[in-house]
Structure 1
């Protein structure tokens, strides 16, 4: 059985997974943005209703990986990914045909559940292939996978901007939906499972639809790894990632509302969201090259920086300025994200446990899922009240993180880890 399993793994072809990740994020980035714009700017639903519709998918995803893996054990990973590829266009298309809020909520709960069949299985396949690949090929696989969904998401938003600028959000939504059918033929190229399903393990891997709301997956670091980031309390990571999720949700959810206040075109949302994703990716890249103490300073100052930016948005009533500031917010989010995720990863590595990553993804799901609901009701009173959270809580968190990380000092770390 083991020989059969290893032979099946060695015969794997990785390109279908990369293509699925690219196509899914390319289509999702356009469709989700177009749907929200259509509902808010054309149908003119209330902010509270928009918040509820926006959040249910993320909230459902808190439990869907567990349910998805239960089904995967019965039908296999390949069949699970094919099933997801068939259900995705069906559930997306239904939202175009009928836009009643209750119906949209049901569809988006379904989409959240089907995500439990997609991301965990993609990550499991990459992890399993690592066992039969050279270190060089394994690193290349992970790098290509991360590049696939990152480039798909950002490229999708830029293309969506051009379509919405030229035509409309509704037509953009329809065109992007047709692209989702490309998932079906690609999924059939996935290598067939061995008789023993790799998902018989107890570990559940989470991954949210937003490609930069979670960690870039890495190779297995359990063997001979160094974990200097565990000098931080794990609370530093949890507070940072929770503030990241809530702050990003507020900035992204509030921007279309501000556009409407200033009577500005909806197609700017594609460009600004692409900007915030791109600058966050830059922040993630930069933070990975920093030493431990520098990461602390960068992430703590970034939390303070978010509060300062929120203040300027409240008091400077210029849509061009607000658009540029929100795009630049991504850089600070990248610093917070990179530091928080690095701490979480290295705690999991040092203690050989997945509980840190699971708790992290639950916090991310709560942050991205609950925030739009609350922000929607608050925006109906005053859109700028949402930014008061970032200002007040950000200042409190800035002081708190400085205190709980007071033992993370430059001299101590350099002597311990870099001598």
Structure 2
């Protein structure tokens, strides 16, 4: 069994359902300490974060961070899996287990790559580091978001960041993420007047009142996107109203909706335009906004982006699609430091699903990709 496969299996066996790290970071820290890394354990609330760094003989140069998470989503009914989700199993060339693709495989590959890199180049210029959190799959409050506050206070400079999120579509290296859309969520309460359905003149139905406003929100063209991002999307994810009885007009309606927005829009403008539509339709409402992350982009010509593209071409024999699609990742917090951020990892077809898996041969190829990025940026 290869080193990266063995370490991935050890991590999968630890039932680290978010935000529980379940000892994964201690295992990683022990390995990296043996090859000269310095550890900083950053615990906030119930969340463990590990910042492991190695500087070559005091040499100056940039910092290259690898970023990952040890927490995983719940497995769902374990009887639905072909093998126990926290017992790594290899079948037909694939490693099965919760976190195999998202993202214990990438974390293991990063550890192995860093061990090999500092072994080959102990006096490398600059600094390499591994930041691991156990709060990526959860609320993401006490993980990398909080670590960034610590970095700012310590005046940490991070020039480059490689995120191990599963980015590939069909083959390792066929797609990398060079940015992400922002995520802005809203909880809207529309107030009406509860009453008997037989006497609508004595009530105000918030469902009926919200209908035209909802249609206007759904029809709004928020922006046209740009060369790097598609147009902003607004989606309603939940509507709730009523007492459960069919003869009662509800007194309130609650709607949840989300914007995935590009650099062509600002969160403040999306909020203002949404509220203007609601007021235009005469609604009595209250709205709470939550900004989960701002859009970010590592532009063409950036050193990290060009390096990762070249590595994919050389090691995977693929010209990767350079995408800003998908959801959000912890890269959105690192980008706030002015850091170039690129995501490259395994195929994402099975993430969060029953029978999550990763191809063993691609997992075993991943450390070489990460090590090549280190060599091309720091040697």
Would you call these one fold, judging by a TM-score over 0.5? no
What's the TM-score bracket when you normalise by the shorter of the two chains?
under 0.3
Q: Which has the larger radius of gyration?
A: 2
TM (norm. structure 2) is: 0.25
More helix by share: 1
